[in-house]
């Protein structure tokens, strides 16, 4: 009789563990900052990340990129293959950036040249989630259609709130 209780307890633990593993991870509102390794370039982004499929996450964000007198204002979307593990999750993927490029002679000049730009980037990162908060370190290598300097290798972090 005692052995039956152990078997029943083991079965219940197995089922509850399987149910926890099958639950969909939450989405995340996040604020991210990226810095170029050599120059004074930087990115600030505000967006949403979440699961698209079991081992695939997607993100969408508004972003602002500054490099001396060059400013990009735009939107990026991306998809990532993930390890799907909690609380630490590694991911790798790619995304695209659509935005407006403004080039000003100097900061006081009201006249700026403006055009639209398209870019793509690979991305890798590691995310740690505890309770309702996610923190990640990530890197991207932007390639844009803009003339002149059009490649940016950046590293940074984001902090997110899981919903």
* Residue 150 belongs to some domain of the structure: yes
- Total domains in the chain come to 1
- pLDDT (tens digit per residue) in 95-152: 999 989 777 777 676 777 788 889 999 999 999 999 899 999 999 999 988 777 788 8
DSSP 8-state class, residue 149: -
Range of the domain at 127: 26-162
Query: Is residue 8 in some structural domain?
Result: no
Query: Angle 99-102-105 (CA atoms, 0-180°, nearest 5)?
Result: 170
Question: Does the residue 44 lie in any domain?
Answer: yes
Neighbours of 159 (CB within 10 A): 14
Asked if residue 10 is part of any domain, the answer here is no
For tokens 């709130």, the residue is 161
Tell whether pTM > 0.85: no
């Amino acid at each position: 009789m005692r052995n039956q209780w152990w078997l029943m307890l083991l079965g219940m633990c197995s089922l509850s563990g399987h149910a926890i593993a099958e639950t969909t991870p939450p989405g995340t509102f996040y604020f991210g900052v990226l810095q170029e390794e050599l120059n004074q370039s930087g990115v600030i982004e505000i967006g949403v990340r979440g699961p698209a499929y079991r081992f695939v996450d997607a993100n969408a964000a508004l972003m602002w990129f500054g490099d001396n007198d060059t400013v990009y204002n735009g939107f990026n979307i991306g998809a990532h293959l993930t390890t799907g593990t909690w609380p630490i999750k590694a991911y790798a993927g790619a995304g695209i950036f659509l935005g407006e490029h403004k080039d000003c002679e100097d900061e006081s000049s009201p006249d700026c040249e403006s055009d639209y730009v398209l870019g793509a980037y690979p991305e890798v990162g590691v995310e740690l989630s505890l309770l309702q908060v996610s923190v990640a370190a990530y890197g991207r290598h932007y390639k844009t259609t803009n003339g002149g300097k059009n490649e940016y290798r950046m590293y940074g972090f984001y902090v997110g709130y899981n919903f």
